């Protein structure tokens, strides 16, 4: 127990004294996760809207599959991206493996079912009367969709925050396709894994405290949006 307390004290000092390595890793984590969440929302939020507003055979089965993929293992996604961008893979010529770009691709794939599924859930929570009112007032299909998205904006914001939380806390995909290269692809979770294995408990604790602080901020924001 004394060792744990001492490690916690040292970790807090590393954070509040502005340790360059700690802040470099934190900034990279926020950058990669933020870009991944933004790209995933731009790609898969419209796709989720299309699935919700269109009826087709197998729609329920598709939605069930999407919801099942919420718990998609990060190491499996990392393996798929690794194979894709490896030298023998179909996109090996792009030479993206062990770069931040490959990490972004992996996290976008990881977030895809979450963004799609939660977008569908958000739109399902909008009352049917909103859609009927928009149509009765002469709104086109496009503006009807825009109106419902506006009504579901807090639920959709919650989906984005959940996606961001998933991205910044995963380790398997980032480690496999990023390589945990110091000063290049090392992020909070991969750095924690490495520093713990090397016995640098203080630095690992500092990184863990930062992750928990970010998770707390995301959780509070999600709660506020859900209340709205």
**Does this model's pTM top 0.85?**
yes
Residue 46 main-chain phi, psi, to 5 deg: -60, -35
Percent of the chain with pLDDT over 70: 96
Q: What pLDDT score was predicted for residue 97?
A: 93
**Distant-in-sequence, close-in-space partners of 121: CB < 8 Å, separation ≥ 6:** 155, 159
Report whether pLDDT(140) > 90: no
Report whether pLDDT(23) > 80: yes
Structural domain boundaries of the chain? 2-227
For 140, left (φ over 0), alpha (ψ -120 to 50), or beta? beta
Segment 88-97 shows an average pLDDT of 91
Residue 225 — very low, low, confident or very high, per pLDDT cuts 50/70/90?
A: confident
Domain 2-227: homologous superfamily in CATH: MetI-like (1.10.3720.10)
Structure tokens, 25 = 């890793």
Q: Are 196 and 205 in contact (CB under 8 A)?
A: no
Segment 110-120 shows an average pLDDT of 94
Q: What pLDDT score was predicted for residue 3?
A: 62
Of 85, 81, 91, the closest CA to residue 112 belongs to: 81
Alpha helices by DSSP H, the chain: 2-16, 20-53, 59-68, 74-85, 100-124, 128-136, 141-151, 153-169, 172-178, 188-198, 201-227
Structure tokens, 67 = 């919801």
Q: What pLDDT score was predicted for residue 226?
A: 67
Residue with tokens 């895809």: 112
Residue 145 — very low, low, confident or very high, per pLDDT cuts 50/70/90?
A: confident
Segment 207-227 shows an average pLDDT of 82
Q: What pLDDT score was predicted for residue 6?
A: 72
Q: What pLDDT score was predicted for residue 67?
A: 92
Q: What pLDDT score was predicted for residue 69?
A: 93
Residues 192-202: pLDDT tens digits? 999 888 888 87
Q: What pLDDT score was predicted for residue 228?
A: 62
């Amino acid at each position: 127990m004394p060792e744990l307390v001492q490690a916690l004290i040292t970790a807090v000092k590393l954070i509040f004294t502005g340790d360059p390595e700690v802040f470099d890793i934190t900034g990279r984590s926020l950058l990669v996760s933020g870009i991944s969440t933004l790209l995933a929302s731009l790609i898969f939020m419209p796709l989720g809207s299309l699935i919700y507003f269109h009826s087709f055979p197998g729609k329920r089965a598709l939605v069930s599959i999407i919801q099942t993929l919420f718990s998609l293992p990060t190491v499996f996604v990392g393996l798929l991206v690794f194979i894709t961008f490896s030298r023998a893979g179909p996109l090996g010529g792009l030479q993206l493996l062990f770069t931040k770009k490959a990490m972004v691709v992996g996290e976008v794939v990881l977030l895809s079912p979450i963004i799609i599924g939660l977008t569908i859930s958000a739109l399902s929570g909008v009352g049917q009367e909103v859609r009927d009112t928009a149509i009765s007032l002469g709104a086109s299909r496009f503006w009807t969709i825009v109106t419902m998205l506006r009504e579901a904006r807090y639920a959709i914001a919650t989906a984005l925050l959940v996606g961001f939380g998933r991205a910044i806390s995963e380790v398997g995909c980032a480690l496999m396709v990023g390589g945990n290269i110091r000063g290049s692809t090392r992020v909070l979770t991969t750095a924690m894994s490495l520093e713990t294995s090397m016995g640098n408990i203080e630095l690992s604790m500092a990184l863990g405290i930062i992750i928990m602080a970010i998770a707390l901020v995301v959780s509070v924001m999600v709660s506020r949006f859900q209340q709205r």
